[in-house]
């Protein structure tokens, strides 16, 4: 039996992406690909000091143009500086594209075409090039030219209208869920484009937006709203719109979340809570019954949950009912499951020493993710330009006139 000489190699080894990325969503997408072996070349503007993320506080070194925020979102990326406003910069881009598989941007929707970062501008240099754009609102429509950030998209997409307490204001999720979901969706889109290019030899444009990603996440709430006389609302204790009980409850010393997504979980819950009479109560017999009598049922359950500590309830419920403590971020990172899944990793950094980061969420049998720190601004420019035939003297001239 023959042995595959590439067994254990990073699955995306040999894939090069020129990434014109900034701040959160796009760099997050590129980190996923870099962890899995892609050669992510982050292209930054030398006249601006590169990605603004390099200067985001706290825990940053402005003189070095680096910080923990930047490292968290750009792991594994090499850095090339290139001024696309200069004719020589645009000519170098064409030459770089000839040696790349994809160009990825997360600029405003109107900018890729203006900057020559779409297939129309780059396809002649490499007919197989895949050009993926992640923007706030997409490359078409009345808001294509507007910047889009996670907070803005959570408002536009209705997320804030269903987050928070009923008597409180609309609330943003504490994590940048739209940024990260949009980043993952764009990474998937890029992989689809690369697969098609390898199968057909033809590159393409891919247009992904945070707005579209957020709307797609409305999913069943959108379908219910579009097809019935129904509107989602903010519910107490972060409750599910229709499944009862599925929410947080206060315990003697904290909070616990239970989720009865199946009838069997409801049956087990009343047993574990020693509330067998509720299981026999016709008001609570089915999903529909419990929804109709939500307020009465939740009040009864809340009184019971307050009788014991979170740890005591976890000991009773784990393995029988979907249940979780409401962790702090520190507690979540210290959980045994996070350790078992190798989701906290160590990355050696020349400035910050050993940086502990969140690991790659994609696990592949026989393959270990590749963890490397994000590169200093422009540190790989010389080596990358040498690959396309730029001589040392020309490189120095280009640097002197601000092209790189």
Angle between helices 263-272 and 310-317 (to 10 degrees): 130
- Rounded to whole angstroms, the Cα distance separating 173 from 185 reads 19
Nearest one of 231, 240, 230, 282 to 261, comparing CA atoms: 240
Q: Which residue has the tokens 């009184």?
A: 303
Nearest one of 164, 213, 214, 206 to 189, comparing CA atoms: 206
Question: What residues have CB less than 8 Å from 67, skipping those under 6 apart?
Answer: 53, 54, 55, 56, 57, 59, 60, 61
- Rounded to whole angstroms, the Cα distance separating 394 from 266 reads 72
- Rounded to whole angstroms, the Cα distance separating 82 from 378 reads 9
Nearest one of 101, 131, 137, 107 to 118, comparing CA atoms: 131
The catalytically annotated residue of 179, 205, 207, 212 is: 179
Q: Is position 179 annotated as part of the catalytic site?
A: yes
What are the C-alpha distances in Å from 164 to residues 4, 55, 248? 53, 32, 12
Question: What residues have CB less than 8 Å from 360, skipping those under 6 apart?
Answer: 32, 35, 36, 369, 371
Q: Which residue has the tokens 């825990």?
A: 59
Catalytic residues: 179
């Amino acid at each position: 039996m023959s042995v595959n000489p590439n067994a254990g190699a990073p699955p995306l080894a040999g894939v090069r992406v020129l990434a014109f990325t900034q701040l959160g969503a796009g760099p997050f997408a590129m980190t996923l690909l870099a962890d899995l072996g892609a050669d992510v070349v982050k292209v930054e503007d030398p006249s601006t000091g590169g990605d603004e993320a390099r200067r985001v506080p706290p825990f940053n070194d402005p003189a070095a143009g680096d910080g923990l925020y930047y490292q968290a979102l750009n792991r594994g990326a090499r850095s090339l500086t290139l001024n696309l406003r200069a004719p020589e910069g645009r000519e170098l881009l064409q030459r770089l594209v000839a040696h790349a598989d994809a160009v990825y941007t997360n600029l405003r929707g109107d900018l890729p075409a203006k900057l020559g970062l779409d297939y129309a501008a780059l396809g002649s240099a490499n007919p197989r090039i895949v050009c993926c754009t992640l923007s706030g609102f997409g490359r078409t429509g009345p808001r294509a030219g507007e910047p889009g950030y996670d907070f803005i998209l959570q408002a536009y997409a209705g997320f804030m209208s269903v987050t928070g307490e009923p008597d409180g204001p609309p609330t943003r999720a504490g994590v940048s869920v739209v940024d990260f979901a949009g980043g993952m969706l764009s990474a998937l889109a890029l992989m689809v484009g690369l697969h098609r290019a390898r199968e057909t030899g033809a590159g393409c444009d891919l247009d992904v937006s945070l707005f579209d990603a957020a709307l797609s996440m409305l999913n069943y709430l959108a379908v219910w709203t579009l097809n019935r006389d129904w509107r989602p609302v903010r519910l107490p204790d972060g409750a599910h719109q229709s499944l009862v009980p599925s929410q947080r409850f206060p315990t003697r010393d904290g909070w616990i979340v239970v989720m009865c997504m199946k009838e069997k979980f409801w049956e087990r819950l009343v047993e574990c809570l020693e509330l067998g009479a509720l299981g026999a109560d016709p008001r609570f017999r089915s999903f529909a019954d419990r929804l109709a009598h939500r307020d009465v049922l939740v009040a009864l359950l809340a009184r019971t949950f307050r009788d014991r500590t979170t740890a005591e309830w976890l000991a009773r419920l784990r393995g029988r009912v979907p249940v979780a403590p409401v962790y702090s971020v520190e507690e979540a990172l210290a959980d045994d499951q996070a350790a078992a899944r190798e989701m906290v990793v160590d990355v050696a950094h020349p400035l910050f020493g050993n940086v502990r980061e969140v690991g790659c969420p994609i696990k592949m049998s026989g393959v270990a993710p590749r963890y490397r720190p994000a590169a200093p601004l422009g540190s790989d420019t010389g080596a990358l330009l040498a690959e396309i035939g730029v001589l040392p003297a020309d490189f120095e001239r280009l640097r002197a006139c601000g092209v790189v």
